[in-house]
Structure 1
């Protein structure tokens, strides 16, 4: 079977499963009759776990298989056997607060991610016990296709932070996956300078990790005029702290204006090198200042 035939078969399967999901969403079960038919507010994941509304193991297994028809079969079976509306099934979470969308993103099952997100888009902003959205999970799993799909659904998700204050770009820099970094930058370049709870931006972290390819991508993003003074916003301060002379020189070549960026105490990179007693870095910066004076 050739590639075009495979694509046609996949498209047919997606359409078929999408129609089945739509029908199942509209199905009324006996437990939904009368007063029970009124829908309560969606519960937070921690509330769901606390109330023991924990995801059935068969859902995990269905996602793991990655077969859309089988996945919808399992959903249908559970709904009918337990008289549950499909929305109640998708309110269930794992013990760590992961929704079915989190689980599918974690296992890299793109077809199932797309099926769930198309019919339950609200799950895109649901968080697990770590405060992660499904986008955070997909980024950590280094799945650029799922990252791209989610960001195409909602670019604002690039700004969402977990309980550590990390945006998806922070997580992408930690994972050192260039394609994922690129996908996030296409959606929102401003997150390059977003600070986490450790007051570190993705640009700062890129220096600490020493990944030159990712660093170059982030250095291409202009500094906003209202960037607050903060050590964690300056890649040059980071290169000094990490005592990486090659990176100091590289940053000075690529973005010479960063030599004037100040930390929260008003210190320039030159001040900072002197303060921590990093002589080699101090001399590199001093030589650069002399060349540009």
Structure 2
């Protein structure tokens, strides 16, 4: 009987996973049934719930249904996986702005939830280069000066993720971040210097990686240096 129960549970979870992925009217009904029986129980070893999967795949119809029928409450929306990520973190990571809008229309405090590394959804947006979601979260009074547990800022995150156009946008809006150092004492400029393969140096190595690595715009270096000089004179 125990094995039969385990098999049934696995079958229910597999069906819920497919329902989150497909988004058809039939799958939504399957999903509704699962939610009423299982709620926010994890579907996998990562601790992801059906809400995480709905966010990842951008299943707006199912997410809206759950909220409209009152099946999901604010505490459900704050449920985290083993890495401390909420469904909003995942929606941000995969650029699912519509899901982020739906979640934050119900619970605005989600924007301040941090994962185990101290990353808010805004930090994830910067790290993954999701400009639309970043701007949306920024306009909701997200803490743009926040730091991850290791001291990295959203500017560090954008540079580490090689999301240089977003890094420029962040620099222009928050020039003070240029001089901020992480726990290792490194600014965003230090991190850029550690990415020589992204510069157009004309070396044979550059030609080897050209097209596979984002090229660092010289503009970002100029902005960082200018901002750091400004900070120096402020001190």
Paired residues of 1:178 and 1:213 also in contact (CA < 8 A): no
Instruction: Give 4+ residue runs of structure 1 displaced > 6 Å after superposition.
Output: none
Q: How does 1:28-43 map to 2 (within 5 A)?
A: none
Q: 2:6 is matched with which residue?
A: none
Q: How does 1:272-283 map to 2 (within 5 A)?
A: none
Q: Secondary structure at the match of 2:138?
A: helix
Deviations 1:142-179 (A, max 9, x none): 11221222222222212111111111122112211211
1:98 Cα deviation from its structure 2 partner: 1.5
Going from structure 1 to structure 2, the CA distance change for 1:198 and 1:152 (only over 3 Å counts) comes to: same
The separation in 1 between residues aligned to 2:145 and 2:80, in whole angstroms, is: 23
Q: Secondary structure at the match of 1:131?
A: coil
The separation in 2 between residues aligned to 1:134 and 1:74, in whole angstroms, is: 16
Q: CA RMSD in A?
A: 3.3
Paired residues of 2:111 and 2:121 also in contact (CA < 8 A): yes
Q: 1:285 is matched with which residue?
A: none
Paired residues of 1:195 and 1:201 also in contact (CA < 8 A): yes
Higher-Rg structure is 1
Q: 1:26 is matched with which residue?
A: none
Paired residues of 1:139 and 1:180 also in contact (CA < 8 A): yes
The separation in 2 between residues aligned to 1:246 and 1:222, in whole angstroms, is: 15
Residues 1:162 and 2:115 are matched in the alignment: yes
Going from structure 1 to structure 2, the CA distance change for 1:210 and 1:73 (only over 3 Å counts) comes to: closer
Instruction: Give the one of 219, 230, 235 matched to 1:257.
Output: 230
Q: 2:22 is matched with which residue?
A: 65
Q: Which runs of 5+ in 2 are unaligned?
A: 1-8, 194-215
1:107 Cα deviation from its structure 2 partner: 1.7
Q: Secondary structure at the match of 1:232?
A: coil
Going from structure 1 to structure 2, the CA distance change for 1:99 and 1:117 (only over 3 Å counts) comes to: farther
Q: 2:80 is matched with which residue?
A: 127
Q: Secondary structure at the match of 1:93?
A: coil
The separation in 1 between residues aligned to 2:220 and 2:160, in whole angstroms, is: 10
Instruction: Give the one of 91, 100, 114 matched to 1:138.
Output: 91
Instruction: Give the one of 149, 152, 158 matched to 1:206.
Output: 158
Going from structure 1 to structure 2, the CA distance change for 1:222 and 1:230 (only over 3 Å counts) comes to: closer
Q: 1:181 is matched with which residue?
A: 134
Residues 1:219 and 2:176 are matched in the alignment: no
Going from structure 1 to structure 2, the CA distance change for 1:150 and 1:241 (only over 3 Å counts) comes to: same
Q: Which runs of 5+ in 1 are unaligned?
A: 1-52, 80-85, 263-293
Going from structure 1 to structure 2, the CA distance change for 1:146 and 1:260 (only over 3 Å counts) comes to: farther
Shifted more, 135-144 versus 147-156: the winner is 147-156
Paired residues of 1:93 and 1:100 also in contact (CA < 8 A): yes
Q: 2:63 is matched with which residue?
A: 113
Q: How many residues align?
A: 197
